Amino acid sequence: MSVISCLRLSSLRNNIISPTKCLITVQREMGHGGPKKMVITASRWQWHKYKDLLHFYTMLGLIPLGTLVFAINVFIGPAKLAPIPEDYNPKNWEYYQHPISRFLARFLYPSHQQDYEKYLHFVYEENEKKQMRLLETKVKEMMAERGDSQAFYYRPILTKYHRYVRKVYDDLDDTRGY
Amino acid sequence: MGVGDPLNQFEAFVNAVGSVFDGPVTWFRESVVDKNRPEYYWYHRQFRRVPTIDECYTDDIVCFVEANEQFKRDRMVDNEVLSILRQRHHDCILYEGHDHKEKCASIKEQYDKAAENWFIKYGDLGVYGDVKAAYMKQKHRLLWERRHGPVGTGMKNPME
């Protein structure tokens, strides 16, 4: 027993006169045979899911992107190679041939020059740190080897706790008398 | 009879079969594609020459990095040049056949000299060989030549 909306094409022809009859129950006319049974079949869920996914990826992916790429390749086309004119500095996207690559280079990706200069700066900073660390280790080694500098191996003694203890002892002396 | 005309009926038939596939594609290209495409250009990236490793201070890391990149680019160019010379030699051998030892002698000599020079500059540097390694290799070679004479004439006894 299935319920079909009256907007379906087959029933439009029948019910076009009276739109009130908008939900009809359709019963299959198959010659009234036998008692009602529940037919046990294997699941067709995987097949239905496959069709669903196929339609999804085709409609949303293949067709729009396919037509876009086709249109770009046919109506814009790849660039022609030319020698760089005198006194002209090409922009960073003019070094690519395909229009989509040019688009990505122009609006999405950083330029080669920017990457290169950032890399050089990074290398410079890391090298500064490296030189300082090398200097530190060398100084430590020298101090350990010669042992003539108080700087690194000197263990300072804090006197504030000794002062506090003495003060407590003095106070006890004053109050108790011994 | 022009150069591209079919020589006989069989060739004409084969051309006709090919044009079943080629015809529509060529028509589409000439009438739709070529008419509507804009004219625009792309260029090959050109790198400026930067100071080489022998002009860099020892603690100048940026100068070293740039010299290294330039060295790698120059090595790629030299690899391609050597490939072209090698391909020329192989093509000459293929063309001359059994006479190649005499006919291809000049090309072989050109390639051998280029390969020797390539090995002097870039050979045996290893996977991690950077521009410093190449520079030190050159320095060691010059010292060796100062002590023992040109490479290939043998080592002199240290007692001499």
Q: What ipTM is given for this predicted complex?
A: 0.79
Q: Which pLDDT band, with edges at 50, 70 and 90, does A9 fall under? A: low
Q: Is B134 in the same domain as B59?
A: yes
How close, in Å, is residue B35 to chain A by CA atoms?
9
Q: At what angle do helices B61-96 and B131-148 cross, to 10 degrees?
A: 70
For residues B70 and B114, membership in a common domain is answered with yes
Check residue A144 and give its pLDDT.
84
Rounded mean pLDDT of chain A? 86
Q: Please report the pLDDT score of residue A147 as a whole number.
A: 78
Is position B31 within any domain? yes
A94, A119, A120 ranked by CB distance to B43: nearest: A94
Query: Which residues of B lie closer than 8 Å to A, measured between beta carbons?
Result: 32-33, 36-46, 59, 61-62, 65-66
In a domain, B93, yes or no: yes
- B105-122 and B131-148 helices, crossing angle to 10°: 110
Query: Are residue B63 and residue B23 in the same domain, yes or no?
Result: no
pLDDT top residue among A6 and B132: B132
Please tell me the least confidently modeled range out of A77-91, A150-164, B37-51: A150-164
pLDDT in tens, B88-142: 999 999 999 999 999 999 999 999 999 999 999 999 999 999 999 999 999 999 9
pLDDT at A145: 87
The distance between the two most distant Cα atoms of chain B, rounded to a whole number of Å, is 85
**Domain presence at residue B102:** yes
**B35/B95 same-domain check:** no
- The number of folded domains in chain B is 2
Residues B63 and B124 in one domain: yes
**B103 in the same domain as B26:** no
CA distance A139 to A142: 5
Angle at alpha carbon of residue A18, lines to A15 and A19, rounded to 5° = 85
Query: In chain A, which residues have their Cβ closer than 8 Å to the Cβ of B66?
Result: 120
Share in percent of chain B as helix, strand, coil (round to 5): 70, 0, 30
State the Cα angle at A88 between A83 and A89, rounded to 5°: 100
Give tens-digit pLDDT for A111-159: 999 999 999 999 999 999 999 999 999 998 998 888 777 776 677 788 9
Distance of CA A4 to the CA centre of its chain: 45
Question: A110: pLDDT confidence band, cut at 50, 70 and 90?
Answer: very high
**First-last CA distance in chain A:** 108
Quick one: B35 and B76 in the same domain? Answer: no
Residue B71: pLDDT above 80? yes
Residues of chain A with Cβ-Cβ distance to B61 below 8 Å are: 123-124, 127
Q: Is the pLDDT of residue A6 over 60?
A: no
Same domain for B63 and B26?
no
Task: Look at residue B160 and tell me if it is in a domain.
Answer: no
Together in a domain, B94 and B122: yes
Give residue for tokens 């070293």: B64
- Report yes or no on B3 lying in a domain: no
Buried b (16+ CB within 10 A) or exposed e, B110-121: ebeebeeebeee
Q: Looking at this protein, which amino acid is placed at residue A64?
A: P
The single-letter code of the amino acid at A56 is F
Q: Quote the minimal CA–CA distance from B31 to chain A in Å.
A: 11
From A68's Cα to the closest Cα of chain B, the distance in A is 15
Question: Which of the pair, A63 or A29, is modelled with greater confidence?
Answer: A63
Mean pLDDT calculated for residue range B35-50? 90
Q: What pTM does this model have?
A: 0.70
B32/B105 same-domain check: no
A178 touches chain B (CB under 8 A): no
- Contact list in A for residue B59 (CB cut-off 8 A) is 131
Same-domain check for residues B67 and B110: yes
By residue range, what is the domain housing residue B26? 9-39
**Inside any domain, residue B47:** no
User: Which pLDDT belongs to residue A21?
Assistant: 58
Any domain includes B4: no
Has residue B159 been placed in a domain?
Answer: no
* B68 & B27 share domain: no
Q: How far apart are CA A95 and CA A101, in angstroms?
A: 10
A vs B: CB pairs below 8 A: 52
